[in-house]
Amino acid sequence: MAQSCANLLEQDKQIIAPLYGKADINFVKGEGSYLYDDQGNKYLDFVAGIAVNALGHQNQAIKDAVVEQMNHFNHISNLYPNYPQIELGKALLEITKFDKAFFCNSGTEANEGCIKFARKYFDRKGEKNRQKIITFVNSFHGRTYAALSATGQPAIREGFGSMPGDFVHVTWNDCEALKKEVNKDTCAIMLESLAAEGGVMTLSKEMVETINSLQKEFGCLVIVDEVQAGMGRLGTFLGFEKYGLKPDLVSLAKGIGGGLPLGAVLLRQHIADQLKAGDHGTTFGGNPIACAAGLAVTKQIADPALLKSVAERSAQLKAGLNALVEKYAFAKEVRGEGLILGVALAEEMPVNNIIAAARAEKLMVLSAKGNVLRMLPPLNVSEAEVAEALDKLGKAFAAAAK
């Protein structure tokens, strides 16, 4: 039964741990690129569950796949072969040309898997001293301990005690700083193909060339976190394809499950060759229902027509955002690629002011580190919906500027 928003928020306060700042809105339905609240208001959703609803709300192929799998079994554990898991793995490996897949439940678990596999790889090869993993300032890799230690944001580690060691953070796109840190004891360089949460930061050509050169010179591994930027969001199936990185390990989550909890690690054969039964595991990872949904998502995102549309809608949205930057002094620059786009704002205009003004216009957007407005529309967003978003955002900018 539908409840008032005030009543729902009060119950949330009494029952749910206070770990999130929640908006005073009660969504009751989603359809396509839109969300509907309990008052019948229609919102254009350019948050997409923080890039989780890659194909919008109530995607029919995902719904059909989930129901079909539920008619067979919900869960059998990883003690037995799992047909939906195998089919999703085959599809991902065929598209990406990696050699093996490991399934888990979330992005942080996928990154934990990458970290463990990288270190186990060198340990099994007899290079036990190769433990150091280099990541980047303002990166975000997750909330569990090793992923948190890899994350280049000290503030979110504060108060949680000692972190796993051998992580070093260098400044994003600082090639000289990276060169100083990488040596024969380096296990891996770990980075996002686009640092979305950290400020919608894109990779420079020089940084990509430096990473590729260091990988070749020292034999270190490259881990690419594709949790937010992968699965078509940059206009290529995986984000690193856009830049020319050569990863040994890739982490996936968010969009891969189409709304269900699903993560994955894709790895090269030389790493898989050093792994044995019992080295790592998960109870729910690769759940049949989640993998059935993941296969439906993967098939749709791999369609060249959808990836072409991502590039077209990105260009449309960028053009509109650049027009707003030219019009409003508090809007400094447009950042990002594909359908991870942001607008860096001056300090005198807090990003939450724009988010609130956009919500008043029935447009859902979110923030990124460094006072950046972030937009993550569904990948199948239409030309008309992008135009609608730009119109609403223009009104929000005007209202916030008063």
The pLDDT-based confidence of 7 (bands split at 50, 70, 90) is: confident
Q: Which region holds residue 236: left if phi is over 0, alpha if psi is between -120 and 50, else beta?
A: beta
CATH 3.40.640.10 location in the chain: 72-301
Q: Indicate if the pLDDT at residue 348 is higher than 90.
A: yes
The pLDDT-based confidence of 8 (bands split at 50, 70, 90) is: confident
Helix (H, G, I), strand (E, B) or coil at 364: strand
Pairing of strands 363-364, 42-45: parallel
Tokens read off for 19: 């770990």
Q: For 196-278, where are the alpha helices, taking DSSP H only?
A: 205-218, 269-272
* Residues 273, 40: Cα–Cα separation, whole Å: 55
pLDDT score, position 10 = 87
As a whole-number percent, the residues of the chain with pLDDT over 70 amount to: 99
For residues 371-381, average pLDDT: 98
Helix (H, G, I), strand (E, B) or coil at 160: coil
For residues 52-59, average pLDDT: 98
The pLDDT-based confidence of 9 (bands split at 50, 70, 90) is: confident
CATH fold of 72-301: Aspartate Aminotransferase; domain 2 (3.40.640)
Q: Indicate if the pLDDT at residue 315 is higher than 50.
A: yes
* Residues 393, 191: Cα–Cα separation, whole Å: 31
Residue bearing tokens 């007899």:
126
For residues 68-86, average pLDDT: 96
Q: Indicate if the pLDDT at residue 153 is higher than 60.
A: yes
Closest by Cα among 236, 122, 237, 251 to 191: 251
* Residues 358, 46: Cα–Cα separation, whole Å: 11
Average pLDDT score over the chain: 96
For residues 353-382, average pLDDT: 98
Q: Which region holds residue 183: left if phi is over 0, alpha if psi is between -120 and 50, else beta?
A: beta
Candidate CATH numbers 3.30.70.980, 3.40.50.410, 3.90.1150.10, 3.30.70.2390; the one for domain 5-58+304-401: 3.90.1150.10
As a whole-number percent, the residues of the chain with pLDDT over 90 amount to: 96
Q: Indicate if the pLDDT at residue 237 is higher than 80.
A: yes
Lowest-confidence segment of 10-24, 75-89, 256-270, 360-374 by average pLDDT: 10-24
Number of helical (H) and strand (E) elements in the chain, helices listed first? 13, 17
Q: Indicate if the pLDDT at residue 100 is higher than 80.
A: yes
- The CA-to-CA distance between both ends of the chain, in Å, stands at 40
pLDDT score, position 402 = 84
Give pTM, 2 decimals. Answer: 0.96
Residue bearing tokens 């995986």:
238
pLDDT score, position 34 = 98
The pLDDT-based confidence of 391 (bands split at 50, 70, 90) is: very high
pLDDT score, position 1 = 42
Give just the sign of the alpha carbon dihedral 360, 362, 363, 367. positive
177-211 pLDDT per residue, tens: 999 999 999 999 999 999 999 999 999 999 999 99
